Amino acid sequence: MILHHTFKDQLNLPDYIISEIEFYKNNSFQDKNEELYKKFNFIGYKDRILKKNGQEYPSTKSDRTPLNGQSQAWVKANICKEFSECSYSSTFPTSQSHGPHTDITRLWLLMYIVDAGGEQVENCFWRQKGYDFLRLENKPVVVCDYSELELVESVQFPVRTWVLFNTKVLHSVENINRARISIQIGVNDLNHLHQSFLDKIEKIKKL
């Protein structure tokens, strides 16, 4: 199973997507997933208290809003033919951690990090003690107490590069100390990725 993959040598974003990112950096917007959290009765995802190394502190909150039609068309033509979402995402540094969770809106996340949110930011992948690594329950999973977790891998994803990771493995973002900005493409079938991306994954499978 591929946990994560970094795609090198990919296309740069067109100017109109860069302009749209700048717009959302400078203007507030409503998180489009608020209704979804209510639908899944996922109370506690955004307002949870994390326990780590004897300390308690809140998790950060990410807000996402869809890119406009022109930007989504470019993503469809160049990155991924079908997706569950194509969003601008911002995470404000209200605390250092976006706590461990699985995603509810996608099996895979194809992410283009514009600003990682700090020099020491790490994407961490976890296994909850006593559970399978891959969490295929029909509901989102959240773990607030890090003592229940074993670190599987931590990685510093490069900025301005497309990276893919499996969102059904518990994951968190650590050491955030400024706004974390990314473009997020929700993918439920890797075969929808553009051929140039698929070729790279196939190469890895054959190794």
Binding-site ranges for Fe ion (CB under 5 A): 103
How distant, in Å, are the alpha carbons of 15, 100, 113, 162, 176 from that of 10? 15, 29, 13, 7, 26
- When the beta carbons of 99 and 194 are compared against Fe ion, the nearer one is 99
Both tokens of residue 152?
């599987």
CB of 29 to Fe ion, least distance (A): 19
User: How far apart, in whole angstroms, are the C-alpha atoms of residue 152 and residue 163?
Assistant: 18
Least distance from C-beta 171 to Fe ion, angstroms? Answer: 6
Nearest residue to Fe ion by CB is 103
Q: 112 near 161, Cβ under 8 Å?
A: yes
CB of residue 64 to Fe ion, shortest distance in Å: 11
Q: Which is nearer to Fe ion, 63 or 103 (CB)?
A: 103
Task: CB nearer to Fe ion: give 68 or 128.
Answer: 128
**What distance in Å separates the CA atoms of residue 154 and residue 69, rounded to the nearest whole number?**
34
- Write down the least CB distance from residue 98 to Fe ion, Å: 8
